Structure formats: C-alpha cells, structure tokens
Structure 1
C-alpha cells in the first residue's frame, strides 16, 4: 500500500500528463488514501477530467473535488447562448434522442431531465454537454427506462382482443417501436376499431397508439 505522500506525487504527475489540464492550477491533498482536488479551471470538462485522472491512480480510495469553474469574461456566455449550444450539440449527435431530453440552464449550471431507453444515451448526453463553453456544472437527472418487449406487448394486445366478444376482426397488424404501437388492418365497424385501440392502450408501457385501421 502506498503512502499518502506517494499517492499525492502520483496524482500530481498524472495530472501533468493530461494535455487539456494546467496541473499547476490544481492542488492535490491526500489523507488516508482520499484525494482532495482544489483550485480552479476555465471549463467544466477540465474539472471532470481532473477527477477521472485522480480516480485512475492506484491506491486512491476516493476523490473529493473542490475545483471551481471560473470562466473568463471573453468566454462567459449567457444562459441563452449556452442552451442554444447544447441543443445544437445534441442535434449533431445521432446517439442522443434529443426529443426525450429537456435542458435547463441557470447561471451556467445545466440540468438534464427526461427519459431514455438506454444507459449509453444518458451518458452520451452528459459527455456532449461537458465541453460546451460557459458550462459550470452539469446535473444529469435523465432516467433510463428500457423499451417495452415487442413480443410481450403484441401477445397482451392479442389476448385483450380475444377476450372481447365484440371484436371479430383477426386482420390487425401490430407494429411496435419503443413505446409506440401502430395498428393496421380492417375492422367491421367504428366501435370495433375503438375497442381494438383501447386494447392497445391497456398494455403496460405503451405511451402512444397510432390507429391506422380501416373500417369496412
């Protein structure tokens, strides 16, 4: 096990090897294997990079980050500009479902909210925001809610239709994308069409139903 002094030396050297950091602006203190980083940087991504570098050093038990983000006057964008930059960054990243994410900017502090289907989408949104000029802190409150099982939902809808004596049609195609269900085919009446649509709405996890059933 390395001593605190050795860990401090290793963290300091690791910070010096990180090209985007000015290691002289970052203080490193170590107590019982717990590293405390202090000082200031001019970009949020540099703060998080310093944290990541320290965590990678062997025998580091924990990292406390007391680094402040101090943006120079020439780079100090207003909240509107920051928000626009974030939205534009999302637009150029095909991995981010931007329609599912809401962005709040207040005094350079960004809050990400919404719901995505995969953890990598949440992480990608955070990674995309970090380098934006003017950002002081990012709070990633995006929740991850996996997409519903296509096979399971289809089965549930078909069983619901079969249980209803007023539904006669067996010519309904059920297409599922994420949490959206699209119904196609033919029904014998408007009432039957409505009953089929209601059966789709009753399936757990469905948030949108597109009814393209024709009445004949």
Structure 2
C-alpha cells in the first residue's frame, strides 16, 4: 500500500468513528510512518485515535503530536482530578491494592507510581484514569513485583502465542533474562505486534517487555 492510499484510509476510518472529531486531526504519511497532528477534546479521544491508526494495515509507526484541548465545561482542578483518580482506582475490581498507588496531578496530567502484582493491573489502572474528565495526559509509572521462573515464563508466552489465530508463532523468538522478556522476529501488522507484546506481558512476574519485532515491510535490508 502506498502512502497516499494509507493516508486516505486513515482519514476515512477516523471520520467513521463517531467519538472523534476528525476535522481537527491532521494526517501525514511517509513510508508507512504516520504523523497525527492537531487537537482532540479529551485524553480518551487521543487514545482512541491512536488505537484506530495502530490497528490499520500498512502502518509501521506513529508519531502522536495531538494536543488535548478540554472544553470549558470539562476543566477540573488538580485536586478534584486527584480525588477522582483515587476513587476510580478504589472501585476498579482488577486493581487489588489501590493503596499501593501514589497519584500526582499537575495541570491535568496524571502520574501514577507504586507497585502492582500483574501487568493487567497496571493497564487496568491506565484504562480507568484515561476516561476521567479533566485528564490531559497520563504517565503510568507503576512497577510490577518480581516473581519469575524464566523457563515457565517462556513456556507460558509460547502457549499464548499458539492459541492466538492472528499470530504465526513460528516467526517470533522469545528471550528471557530474569523478569525481562525480549521478542524478536517478524509480524504482518502493528496489531499482530501488539498481540504478541500483550501475550508476553500476561506472563506472571514479567516487569519488562522489549519489543524488537519488525513489521512486514520493515524487513527489507534488515536482519534480526
């Protein structure tokens, strides 16, 4: 797919999504690298834009230069946002120990620090916070408690990849060192790459996933 066709497909897909004001978003494509500029009305809208584009065939990388411009009625003080973040974390069933999480808010930008037991708890906290009104950005610095048998981790990830019909597990190599996992090889789309990365993060005790997977047309002239 050439850059012009990919750009047109991205614009059409963003215009099709009712929760996005596509008229305020600029799209540029250069050799499969997509730059998104302009502004959106919420941090959640920014996340939705990125998710849509990341899942499209032909996208090799994304430069996200979107600015969050909150409507006047959605503006909140930092104290109010912090209180809402603590409340939503306390109510989240997947965040088992919300008291282990420290919340800082600066001009609507939320910073999460602390410890969780699983990566899915880290992402659950992320998902809960990004939907709150008034949030303009999020830095999720939550760490995962280490508890790793690297051979068991490798086996768990291999089995997860083989259960997923969208992934060819034979094209992916898994390397483990302590609680760190490195993925090497090739995939066909950014979505497939994200699924492989999710499988790695889902293994118990994994604290770092280094994604060195190459997307399809990145392979020309490169080797792993």
SS at match of 2:29: strand
The aligned residue for residue 135 of structure 2 is 135
Unaligned segments of structure 2, at least 5 residues: 150-224
Indicate if the aligned counterparts of 1:116 and 1:146 stay in contact, CA closer than 8 A: no
**In 2, Cα distance between equivalents of 1:147 and 1:83:** 31
Report deviation, 1:147.
5.2
Cα distance in 2 for residues equivalent to 1:128 and 1:80: 17
1:1-216 aligned at under 5 Å gives the runs: 2-96=1-95, 97-146=97-146
CA drift of 1:72 comes to 2.0
User: Structure 1 residue 26: deviation in Å?
Assistant: 0.9
CA distance in 2 between partners of 1:35 and 1:51 (Å): 10
Distance in 2 (alpha carbons) for counterparts of 1:46 and 1:133: 11
Distance 2:27 2:59 in 1: 12
Shift, 1:148, TM fit: 8.4
Q: Is the 8 A contact 1:15 1:50 kept in 2?
A: yes
Question: Which structure has the bigger radius of gyration?
Answer: 1
TM-score if structure 2 supplies the norm length?
Answer: 0.64
Deviation string 1:45-66 (CA, Å, 9 cap, x unpaired) is: 1111101111111010001111
Contact persistence 1:118–1:146 (CA under 8 A): no
Q: Which has the higher contact order (CA 8 A, sep 6+)?
A: 2
Cα offset for 1:92? 1.5
- CA offsets, 1:26-77, max 9 Å, x none? 1111011100111111110111110111111101000111100011222110
Counterpart-to-counterpart distance in 2, 1:48 and 1:125 = 14
Deviations 1:146-201 (A, max 9, x none): 4589xxxxxxxxxxxxxxxxxxxxxxxxxxxxxxxxxxxxxxxxxxxxxxxxxxxx
1:23 Cα offset (Å) = 1.1
Shift of the 148–51 alpha-carbon distance from structure 1 to 2, 3 Å rule, reads closer
Distance in 1 (CA, whole Å) between partners of 2:121 and 2:92 is 10
CA RMSD of aligned residues (A): 1.4
Distance in 1 (CA, whole Å) between partners of 2:116 and 2:88 is 17
TM-score of the superposed pair, with normalisation by structure 1: 0.66
* Unaligned segments of structure 1, at least 5 residues: 150-216
